[in-house]
Structure 1
Amino acid sequence: MKKTKGFTFRTIFPPPPKPSLTRPCPFKAYSLIPVSPLAMLDPTILTIGGIVLGIAIIERILERWGVIDLVDQFAKVMRFILPVTFYSALIYFFVTFML
């Protein structure tokens, strides 16, 4: 009859790693700004802002050239478009912003 040899658990599996002597101290970090300013670099918001800024610059150039009739038309249109653009971009930002 053959003799069977027994193995202990420690010889088959390596021992678990020992914990390090230095332990990281847990700390709580608080942010005073709930929304990152870098989130405003969304291409859609930058495009809308660039279009509105371009229209305002065109309006100033036309005013310097003395085309007051066209400037009045721009002012009437911008009086409606600017608030609508601002609120729609604000709603878009908060809808697409991920917390």
Structure 2
Amino acid sequence: MRKTQWFSFRNLFHKPSLTSSMKPRPVNAYSFVPFSPFVMLDPTILTIGGIVLAVALIEWLLDRWGVMDLADQFEKVMRFILPVTFYGALFYFFATFMF
């Protein structure tokens, strides 16, 4: 049989406890921004960037050579492809970024 300990109401709430009832826990600290510049060397991101730069260079060369019609067609296509490629690469970067 257990021994019961009695406290009066006044002693229970007005007497300060000498020992803390909470035990300290170890705190795990994590970095919220584990960013390294080498993350940008992802082969997929580099391939997409290389293709976009190559098409821009081709458009510049066609414009320089005087083939305006073909350069204008490239410009119309790139006006749609560049934003789609940028937002797609941005989405891919954050989807594969390890937090």
Q: TM-score, normalised to structure 2's length?
A: 0.65
In the other structure, the counterpart of 1:81 is 81
> In 2, distance between residues paired with 1:34 and 1:82?
29
Which amino acid is the alignment partner of residue 69 of structure 2? D
1:49 is aligned to 2:49: yes
> Which string of whole-angstrom CA distances, capped at 9 and with x for unpartnered residues, describes residues 33-92 of structure 1?
652221010000000000000000001110111000001000000000000000000000
In the other structure, the counterpart of 1:38 is 38
RMSD: 1.8
Identity, in percent, stands at 71
Which amino acid is the alignment partner of residue 67 of structure 2? V
Gaps of 5+ in 2: 1-28
> Which string of whole-angstrom CA distances, capped at 9 and with x for unpartnered residues, describes residues 1-39 of structure 1?
xxxxxxxxxxxxxxxxxxxxxxxxxxx9x79x6522210
What is the 5 A alignment of 1:1-99?
35-99=35-99
Gaps of 5+ in 1: 1-27
> In 2, distance between residues paired with 1:34 and 1:78?
34
> In 2, distance between residues paired with 1:77 and 1:34?
37
- Count of residue pairs brought into register by the alignment: 70
